[in-house]
Structure 1
Amino acid sequence: MIISLVGYMGSGKSHVSKILSEKLNFKLIDLDREISRRNKLTIPEIFEKKGEIYFRKLERETLEEILATQENIILSLGGGTPVYYNNMEIINLNSKSVFLKASVISLTERLSKQKEKRPLIANISDDNLPEFIAKHLFERNEFYNKAQFSVNTDSRDPEDIVNEIIEKLYL
């Protein structure tokens, strides 16, 4: 079984996927890390050297390969992955998808502390961050909401979120 976690950056995908994989004894794959490993370049380097279109193609190919495996996997997806091609469709066909939902307030709080690690928001002022997130989230929610399950992550302990995911998936 593959469990795919989708959601906006800062929603808790990396943290929750780590705990979930340990608790279920599933292999953990972070899609962005896997793309970096295979290409021996960081995601920002791929964007810079080859462009976003090239990256999205790589992302799609890597996603398809992972979803075709028969292993027990927790797959942590990039925030943009569900938006491109018909990615949400293949994610839903080949895995149990869970949308980690967070409010603009929570996301702003979390992301303002890690802006330098996030190329997409690195140059956005703290004053403009909530508006940027709100607009971006509005555009992406249409895709995130296609996930089979949804779990709110606002003001919640990661263990609590993991337990809710396990409960919802009847594991």
Structure 2
Amino acid sequence: MSNIVLIGFMGCGKTSVGNLLAARLGYGFTDTDRFIEDSCNRTIKSIFAKEGEAYFRDLETSTIKGFIGKMDQTVLSVGGGLPMKPGNAELLQQLGQVIFLKATRATILIRLAGDTTRPLLSGDNPAKKLEDLFTSRAPVYERAAHMEVNTDGRSFDDIIDEIIKRTGVKP
């Protein structure tokens, strides 16, 4: 498979690593969240507020279904909740090698401190919400992924080198 699909919790580095990995490989880069925002001409926060999470999750599923068979030599970064919907993990595996970018709760809390763009963390006690999401999502990410790559305390170059080595993709 010539595509690489990055999954993981918000703040784990999917977009940053994805952009740099794509540049190193000479691949295209697509972020499902940005793709949906561009397609709808609205922010994810606005979509959540007006139509709700279920509607947004359906948009994610239709987006990745639309990529199957049309995407080649692309690094795809997907929203943290996308693999949670039944059937989406299998769709992602059809798209390419699925890599779970893994980070600890502590790292994610530091990376997301002050981030007001995440609808699922808005409101009271974002640390508790983060903990609950982390607990429910980690096992799903593990099952969905072909491999895991730890991002804690590592440079982007080190993470990218590991991905290239383990996937066997040639720059």
TM-score w.r.t. structure 2 length?
0.91
**CA shift in 2, pair 1:132/1:48, >3 Å:** closer
Following superposition, the deviation at residue 90 of structure 1 comes to 1.4
Q: Which runs of 5+ in 2 are unaligned?
A: none
- Equivalent residues of 2:67, 2:95 under 8 A apart: no
- Which residue does the alignment assign to 1:12? 13
- Which residue does the alignment assign to 2:108? 107
Following superposition, the deviation at residue 85 of structure 1 comes to 2.5
Task: Among all aligned residue pairs of Structure 1 and Structure 2, give the percentage whose two residues are the same amino acid.
Answer: 34
Following superposition, the deviation at residue 94 of structure 1 comes to 2.7
CA distance in 2, matches of 1:43, 1:115: 14
- Equivalent residues of 1:4, 1:95 under 8 A apart: yes
State the one-letter code of the partner of 1:49: K
Following superposition, the deviation at residue 70 of structure 1 comes to 4.2
C-alpha root-mean-square deviation of aligned residues, in Å? 1.4
- Equivalent residues of 1:115, 1:122 under 8 A apart: no
- Which residue does the alignment assign to 1:119? 119
SS of match in other structure, 2:149: strand
- Equivalent residues of 1:3, 1:75 under 8 A apart: yes
Following superposition, the deviation at residue 135 of structure 1 comes to 2.2
**CA shift in 2, pair 1:118/1:12, >3 Å:** same
State the one-letter code of the partner of 1:144: Y
- Which residue does the alignment assign to 2:159? 161
- Equivalent residues of 1:67, 1:95 under 8 A apart: no
Count of residues paired in the alignment: 167
- Equivalent residues of 1:102, 1:153 under 8 A apart: yes
- Equivalent residues of 1:2, 1:67 under 8 A apart: no
After superposition, residues 1-171 of structure 1 pair within 5 angstroms as 1-112=2-113, 114-125=114-125, 129=127, 131-146=128-143, 147-171=145-169
Q: Bigger CA drift: 30-39 or 59-68?
A: 59-68
TM-score w.r.t. structure 1 length?
0.91
